[in-house]
Chains A and B, each alone.
Chain A
Amino acid sequence: MTVYCLYIFNRYGECLLYRVYKRTYAPRDPGDEQKNMYGMLFAMRNFCQKMSPAQAAESDGKGLTQREVQAHLQYYVAGNYALHYFETPTGLRFIMTTGTQFTGFDVNQCLRRIHARLYVEYVVSNALYTPGEPIQSALFLEKLDAYVKALPIYE
């Protein structure tokens, strides 16, 4: 079980952070990969929403809340890796690719923590960060690496 890499996108699809951990190869063009990934997730997100059974129920007039209707993509598992996805209400997307053996460990929860405890503090509260630009903050990267490397799924 390993953590391969971590991406953060903003709601305009700009990649704010691409951090490699145990990825075994480097893509030829990371920018291209990021664009494809954002496009795929965007489509998947909309499709997940469309397929939500709660949505049908809502049209029956049962008056479900927005929260109940929402059906966010959480992760997908491919043959030899898994991709975990977390989206904040402001449209920030946190994506982590890991190995497939993560049962019993909530990777989404990790992404939430990265957002709440690291991103909000060391990026949003950093007076010298301009929103929308790639994250360069050394302090944030240091904390992020320490956090990811301390995860039980990181080996």
Chain B
Amino acid sequence: MARRETGRLSWVAKKQASGAHKRSQSVRGMEAGALPAGVGAGSGAPAGSAGYGAAMAVAAAAPGAQASPTPGSTLNILDQPLARQRGEVSLSAYLLLFCELVAYSRNRVSSVVALEARLAAVGYRVGERALEYVCAKSGKPLPRETRILGILNFVVTNLWRFLFGKNADSLKKVGNSDAEFYIEEVEPLVNTFVSVPKDFGALNCAAFQGGIVHGILSAAGFECEVTTYVRDDSSKPGSAEVTMYYIKFSNEVIQRERRLAG
């Protein structure tokens, strides 16, 4: 169900843990959709988004949950099913908060590198909590990931879908190393509307998301370093810049991995 909210400001970053595998079109389509939709604007939200308001309410219907409350009824927070799977946040609200975060950080640092480090530090805290949250709300008990590939796959699918409404674009391994991986993303959610001025050099606000990845992996027991940078990909016209989250696991993790591999 790919859908695009065309309401004036009610674009939604649908962040749900499951069910929206075509979501990537939806989030990415927003930027491209802004202009064509602008010409014939006000065409109204598609029927699919009718339930959006209800989903925003606390008492959202949880698909597949035992007791799915009807939209509009107010349930005590203790009566809500733990496995509430639909969590949606308005994209404009989310990005405005992110803007403030960047503005706040900008006033307290002297260099672009320090700004990225600061954003990553905030992201780290988000990541730690996101892992906990997704595991607690997943409905069925999740196995604890002990292998590197297992946790990385979990990050680029489940957690990415929960946080950004789509899967990450790709997960790759650095050729000759067991400890180094990278996640690629053409358009990170937080960069949807960001345009980096020249005097900011190679700043990438997605350092925040890199921090999230770091937080998740650390909380899951995989000590690592995560660096975020931009790579020019001239093979794809239009989207020349690809954000990469480069992950290097620490030695203990690699030794453990070898032990587990037997």
Closest beta carbon of chain B to A111's beta carbon, Å: 12
Q: A113-B41, A116-B8, A117-B41 are contacts. A126–B193 as well, Cβ < 8 Å? A: yes
By a CB distance below 8 angstroms, the chain A residues around B35 are 117, 143, 146-147, 150
A106 to B92, CA, bound (A): 27
Closest beta carbon of chain B to A115's beta carbon, Å: 10
A26 at the interface (CB under 8 A from B): no
Q: Is the interface of B mostly helix, strand, loop or mixed?
A: helix
By a CB distance below 8 angstroms, the chain A residues around B203 are 128
A121 to B197, CA, bound (A): 16
- Pair A127/B98 contact, Cβ less than 8 Å: yes
A-B interface contact total, Cβ < 8 Å: 64
A139 at the interface (CB under 8 A from B): yes
A143 to B39, CA, bound (A): 13
B219 at the interface (CB under 8 A from A): no
- Pair B39/A126 contact, Cβ less than 8 Å: no
Closest beta carbon of chain B to A114's beta carbon, Å: 8
By a CB distance below 8 angstroms, the chain A residues around B200 are 128
Of B37, B95, B102, B193, which is in contact with the most chain A CB atoms at under 10 Å from its CB? B193
- Pair A139/B38 contact, Cβ less than 8 Å: no
A146 to B37, CA, bound (A): 13
Q: Which residue of A lies closest to B39 (CB)?
A: A150
- Pair A127/B103 contact, Cβ less than 8 Å: yes
Closest beta carbon of chain A to B8's beta carbon, Å: 6
Of B34, B195, B203, which is in contact with the most chain A CB atoms at under 10 Å from its CB? B195
Q: Which residue of A lies closest to B197 (CB)?
A: A136
- Pair B194/A126 contact, Cβ less than 8 Å: yes
Q: A113-B41, A120-B9, A150-B39 are contacts. A125–B96 as well, Cβ < 8 Å? A: yes
Interface positions of B from 183 to 202, Cβ below 8 Å from A: 190, 192-197, 200
- Pair A127/B102 contact, Cβ less than 8 Å: yes
- Pair A126/B8 contact, Cβ less than 8 Å: no
A140 at the interface (CB under 8 A from B): yes
- Pair A125/B99 contact, Cβ less than 8 Å: yes
- Pair B92/A128 contact, Cβ less than 8 Å: no
- Pair B38/A126 contact, Cβ less than 8 Å: no
Interface size band for B: 20 to 34
Closest beta carbon of chain B to A132's beta carbon, Å: 12
A120 to B196, CA, bound (A): 17
By a CB distance below 8 angstroms, the chain A residues around B197 are 128, 136-137
- Pair A125/B95 contact, Cβ less than 8 Å: yes
By a CB distance below 8 angstroms, the chain B residues around A125 are 92, 95-96, 99, 192-193
Interface positions of A from 99 to 141, Cβ below 8 Å from B: 113, 116-118, 120-122, 124-130, 136-140
Contact for A127 among B8, B39, B99, CB less than 8 A: B99
Q: Which residue of B lies closest to A123 (CB)?
A: B193
A125 to B190, CA, bound (A): 10
A117 to B193, CA, bound (A): 11
A136 to B196, CA, bound (A): 9
- Pair B195/A122 contact, Cβ less than 8 Å: yes
A129 to B205, CA, bound (A): 13
A138 to B241, CA, bound (A): 14
Contact for B205 among A117, A124, A127, A130, CB less than 8 A: A127
Closest beta carbon of chain A to B153's beta carbon, Å: 30
A129 to B106, CA, bound (A): 11
Q: A113-B41, A136-B197 are contacts. A128–B34 as well, Cβ < 8 Å? A: no
A positions within 8 Å CB-CB of B: 113, 116-118, 120-122, 124-130, 136-140, 143, 146-147, 150
A to B CB contacts below 8 Å, 30 in the list: A113-B41, A117-B34, A117-B37, A117-B41, A118-B38, A120-B9, A122-B195, A124-B99, A125-B95, A125-B192, A126-B193, A126-B194, A127-B95, A127-B98, A127-B101, A127-B102, A127-B103, A127-B190, A127-B194, A128-B102, A128-B195, A128-B197, A128-B203, A128-B205, A130-B103, A137-B195, A137-B197, A139-B193, A139-B194, A143-B34
